[in-house]
Chains A and B, each alone.
Chain A
Amino acid sequence: MRLDLRDLTVRRGLCPVVDGVSLAVVPGEFVGLIGPNGAGKTTLMRAALGLMPFDGLSSLAALPPAARARAAAWLPQARDIAWPVSVADLVALGRLPHGPGGDGAAAVDRALRRMGLAAFRDRRATELSGGEQARVLIARALAQEAPVLMADEPIAGLDPAAQIAAMQVFAAEAAGGRAVLAALHDLGLAARHCTRLVVLSGGRLVADGPPRAVLVPEVLGPVFGIRAHLAETAEGLVFQPVAMVGDEDG
């Protein structure tokens, strides 16, 4: 199971929000979807899942809802926990597409351990800190154990250690044979952990490739309006935005 998008277009009125995007994410890949605010990252992923109308083809949206829910886990940006349920009950919601019984309890345990939440399982999810809630919700998506994992800004608002831990979990999920697509704003973490970066700007796919090839001045300037320092170090790729383009003139 992989994610295949062909000429995916989403219009709001006449104006295309996502414009003819073709993209494939195959098992083993951790693809970072990057782009400035309003580039269409969330819209692209929601349309790919069939959660909103679109033109073009999406391998996931073509599935009936129940099969799609077993094929792809979706972690929205809004960290909604409506009721004070226990952490274990919340993570177990990821098992809904699989029906009762089976391997459910074990999958929940695995997901809790992966996110370092084993000690939290009986706590009320609404009483945790924002960062802890974010980790619980990631655990929910992991518990779904779907071949495709899509996440919208999953590490925003986490502390640095939790961000690195979460990125390592996503990378490990990919290495374990899943196809992972995550919208990210932290280009430094994206550069270090993703196997591939896809750049969206104004709804169009403008760059697609390994982090070294994508985070170049020709992309960073026009798309993000920044200059950055990119270096290969003993500890891997290091990326640091330095200034806004045009700052030195003003």
Chain B
Amino acid sequence: MTGRWLLPALGLLVAALFLVSLVTGPAGIGAAEGLAALVTGEGAAGLVMREIRLPRAILGLAVGAALGLSGAAMQGFLRNPLAEPGLIGTSSAAALGAVIAIHTGLYAAFALALPLMALAGAAVAVGLILALAGPRGRALSLILAGIAISALMGALTALALNLAPSPYAATEIVFWMMGSLADRSMQHVWLALPFLGLGAVLLAATGRGLDALTLGEDAAESLGVSLTALRLRIVFGTAALVGAATAVAGAVGFVGLVVPHLLRRAVGARPAALLPASALGGAAMLLAADIATRLVLPDRDLKLGVLTALVGAPFFLHLVRRMGREGA
């Protein structure tokens, strides 16, 4: 499956999984009945469909697409297949913001305090990374600054956990960090969508620059690509996508790392072509994983991030083994 059939096929897959996500859940509503109730909005079924399942399906699609797109952009920019969107520190900073909201009890007083604090955390990370790596710094300084910020944010998150006011708060923090799309409302959707849209617009325009970077930074610049502008787009775009994704779904790993790998060969390895494919692939993967959390252990609240890591890590090992055999 290559070339011009890839994007339509992925699009169909995402649409199908979106529908499956809508009709999957513990409420015991039939598929046809559920979809009808979604349109009319009548009765208990309408409430479940519109207030519980619809936001969950939309967030699954949007968060997955954000992770896939930002992963592809980050790998293209750093010219490294091991790069992932969390590398520049925004996801750990967003997680810290959310953890502070839980720790202080703010989120109990005001439901959107948690995602808002997470977005603020992501914004702080962007400020830090630009201050540390400088506006003109090259890829390596960006990676190192990102690692330093991630380490700091991780340490502060551990501190918050360490000083948790009650075992209940500690449990809450740990579960939140595992990542989930359960019990999200349309408010979460409206909060996340503007940032996700902004990030997608910023990254969608990086294709030409990322293609040129295949030849190295010097050659890319000689081809008329402004590395400074490209880097700002990547940092702000990734931060908006990952910050908003983390704010509403918690820390969901491996999607941004594995999906670009999975699709790279199918698009002829061109970084620009990988962007839309990876966005659709990420959406499909996260929708599928979120459906699986509801089907595998329906009464145990299996966390989304746990499942993506459980499936993603062995799959990644398989890819690494295949790369090793091909000597590429």
Interface centre among B208, B212, B223, B269 (most CB of A within 10 A): B223
Q: A51-B222, A69-B223, A127-B328 are in contact. Are A83 and B216 (CB under 8 A)?
A: no
Does any Cβ of B come within 8 Å of A115's Cβ?
no
B222 x A86 contact (CB < 8 A): no
User: With a CB–CB cut-off of 8 A, which chain B residues contact A46?
Assistant: 218
B-contact 0/1 string along A107-138, CB 8 Å cutoff:
00000000000000000101100000000010
Smallest CB separation, B75 vs chain A (Å): 9
B-contact 0/1 string along A59-79, CB 8 Å cutoff:
000000110111011111010
- Measured in the bound complex, the distance between the Cα atoms of B212 and A93 in whole Å is 6
Smallest CB separation, B310 vs chain A (Å): 29
B269 x A74 contact (CB < 8 A): no
Q: A83-B269, A85-B270, A89-B270 are in contact. Are A96 and B224 (CB under 8 A)?
A: yes
Does any Cβ of A come within 8 Å of B97's Cβ?
no
- Measured in the bound complex, the distance between the Cα atoms of B270 and A82 in whole Å is 10
Q: A65-B224, A69-B224, A93-B212 are in contact. Are A85 and B218 (CB under 8 A)?
A: no
B216 x A76 contact (CB < 8 A): yes
Smallest CB separation, B138 vs chain A (Å): 12
User: With a CB–CB cut-off of 8 A, which chain B residues contact A84?
Assistant: 264-265, 269, 328
User: With a CB–CB cut-off of 8 A, which chain B residues contact A51?
Assistant: 218, 221-222
Does any Cβ of B come within 8 Å of A243's Cβ?
no
Smallest CB separation, B3 vs chain A (Å): 12
Does any Cβ of B come within 8 Å of A190's Cβ?
no
Does any Cβ of A come within 8 Å of B215's Cβ?
yes
User: With a CB–CB cut-off of 8 A, which chain A residues contact B269?
Assistant: 83-85, 89, 124
A-contact 0/1 string along B57-90, CB 8 Å cutoff:
0000000000000000000000100000000000
User: With a CB–CB cut-off of 8 A, which chain B residues contact A144?
Assistant: 223
User: With a CB–CB cut-off of 8 A, which chain B residues contact A68?
Assistant: 222, 224
Does any Cβ of A come within 8 Å of B171's Cβ?
no
**Contact count band on B:** 20 to 34
User: With a CB–CB cut-off of 8 A, which chain A residues contact B215?
Assistant: 76, 80-82, 90, 93, 137, 140
- Measured in the bound complex, the distance between the Cα atoms of B208 and A84 in whole Å is 17
Smallest CB separation, A146 vs chain B (Å): 10
User: With a CB–CB cut-off of 8 A, which chain A residues contact B265?
Assistant: 84
Q: A85-B270, A96-B208 are in contact. Are A90 and B224 (CB under 8 A)?
A: no
Smallest CB separation, B216 vs chain A (Å): 3
A74 x B218 contact (CB < 8 A): yes
- Measured in the bound complex, the distance between the Cα atoms of B328 and A140 in whole Å is 22
B-contact 0/1 string along A129-171, CB 8 Å cutoff:
0000000010010001000000000000000000000000000
User: With a CB–CB cut-off of 8 A, which chain A residues contact B211?
Assistant: 93, 96
- Measured in the bound complex, the distance between the Cα atoms of B254 and A80 in whole Å is 27
Does any Cβ of B come within 8 Å of A20's Cβ?
no
- Measured in the bound complex, the distance between the Cα atoms of B105 and A115 in whole Å is 67
Smallest CB separation, A121 vs chain B (Å): 12
- Measured in the bound complex, the distance between the Cα atoms of B160 and A161 in whole Å is 66
- Measured in the bound complex, the distance between the Cα atoms of B264 and A78 in whole Å is 24
Give the contacts of B210-244 with A (CB-CB under 8 A): 211-216, 218-219, 221-226
Does any Cβ of B come within 8 Å of A181's Cβ?
no
B214 x A76 contact (CB < 8 A): no
A78 x B218 contact (CB < 8 A): yes
Does any Cβ of A come within 8 Å of B268's Cβ?
yes
User: With a CB–CB cut-off of 8 A, which chain A residues contact B226?
Assistant: 65
A-contact 0/1 string along B137-161, CB 8 Å cutoff:
0000000000000000000000000
A interface, CB within 8 angstroms of B: 46, 49, 51, 65-66, 68-70, 72-76, 78, 80-86, 89-90, 93-94, 96-97, 124, 126-127, 137, 140, 144
The 9 closest A-B pairs by CB, nearest first: A69-B224, A80-B216, A74-B222, A82-B79, A83-B269, A76-B218, A66-B224, A85-B269, A65-B224
11 CB contacts below 8 A, A to B, read A65-B225, A66-B224, A70-B224, A75-B219, A83-B79, A84-B328, A85-B270, A86-B268, A93-B211, A96-B211, A97-B223
Q: A72-B222, A84-B265, A84-B328 are in contact. List 10 more A-B contacts (CB 8 A).
A: A68-B222, A80-B214, A80-B219, A82-B216, A83-B79, A83-B264, A83-B270, A89-B268, A89-B270, A93-B215
